[in-house]
Amino acid sequence: MYKQEEVKKHGKDAERIWVTYKDGVYDVTDFIPMHPGGDKILLAAGAAVDPFWALYSQHKTEEVLEILEGYRIGRLDVKDVPKAEPDAFSNDPERHPALLVRNAKPFNAESPPSLLTDHFYTPNELFFVRNHLPVPDIKTEDHRLTVETLNGKTLDLSVDELKKKYKSYTIGSVIQCAGNRRADMNQYKKVQGLMWEGTAISNAEWTGVRLRDLLADAGIDIFDDKIKHVHFEGSDVDPTGTPYGASIPIEKARGNEVIVAYHMNGVDIPRDHGAPLRVIVPGNVGARQVKWLRKIIVSEKESDSHWQQKDYRAFSPAVNMGDELKWDTVPSIQEYPVQCAICTPSPNTKVDRDDGTVDISGYAWSGGGRGIIRIEISVDGGETWSSCEMEQEEKQDLEHMYAWTLFRTEVKIPPGVKEFNIIAKAVDRSYNTQPETASGIWNVRGLIHNAWHRIPIIVKD
Catalytic residues: 35, 59, 130, 177, 312
Is residue 167 involved in binding a second copy (CB under 8 A)?
no
187 binds a second copy (CB under 8 A): no
DSSP 286: G
- Which residue type, as a one-letter code, is found at position 302? E
Q: Give CA–CA dist 438/452, Å, rounded.
A: 9
Q: How far is the CB of 359 from a second copy (least distance, A)?
A: 19
Residue 311 binds to a second copy (criterion: CB under 8 A): no
- One of 125, 213, 268, 436 touching a second copy (CB under 8 A): 436
H or E stretch at 357: strand 357-365
CA distances from 347 to 118, 352, 419, 424, 426 (A): 18, 15, 11, 13, 19
Of 123-131, 159-167, 293-301, 383-391, the segment contacting a second copy by CB under 8 A is 383-391
* Member of 102, 425, 453, 454 binding a second copy (CB under 8 A): 425
Count of alpha carbons within 13 angstroms of residue 131, beta-carbon side: 28
Nearer Cβ to a second copy, position 90 or 439? 439
Q: CB of residue 376 vs a second copy: minimum separation in angstroms? A: 6
Kindly identify the residues of this chain, within the stretch 342-381, that bind a second copy according to CB under 8 A. Answer: 367-368, 370, 373-374, 376
Q: How far is CA 84 from CA 371, 398, 423, 461, in A?
A: 45, 48, 43, 49
The interface region with a second copy, picked from 15-23, 161-169, 355-363, 426-434 by CB under 8 A, is 426-434
Q: Determine, following the binding rule CB under 8 A, whether residue 249 of this chain makes contact with a second copy.
A: yes
Among 158, 198, 206, residue whose Cα is nearest residue 177: 198
User: Least Å distance between CB 371 and a second copy?
Assistant: 9
For residue 448, the minimal CB distance to a second copy (Å) is 5
CB of 433 to a second copy, least distance (A): 5
Is 336 one of the binding residues for a second copy (CB under 8 A)?
yes
Closest separation in Å from C-beta 147 to a second copy: 23
Residue 382 sits in the site that holds a second copy (CB under 8 A): yes
Q: Which of 317, 347, 390, 391 binds a second copy (CB under 8 A)?
A: 317
Edge-to-edge strands, sheet with 419-428: 349-352, 453-460, 419-428, 372-378, 386-387
User: Which distant-in-sequence residues (6+ apart) come within 8 Å of 401 by Cβ?
Assistant: 369, 370, 371, 372, 392, 393, 429
> Cβ–Cβ contacts within 10 Å for residue 230, how many?
30
Q: Cis (ω within 30 of 0) for the bond into 347?
A: no
Q: Out of 316, 323, 355, 414, point to the residue binding a second copy (CB under 8 A).
A: 316
Our finding on whether 290 is near a second copy (CB under 8 A) is no
- Sheet with 108-110: list strands edge to edge: 100-103, 108-110, 129-130
Q: Which listed residue (448, 455, 457, 459) binds a second copy by CB under 8 A? A: 448
Exactly one of 69, 437, 456, 460 binds a second copy (CB under 8 A); that residue is 437
For a second copy, the binding residues (CB under 8 A) are 249, 251, 314, 316-318, 330-331, 333-338, 367-368, 370, 373-374, 376, 382-387, 398-400, 425, 427, 429-437, 439-441, 448, 452
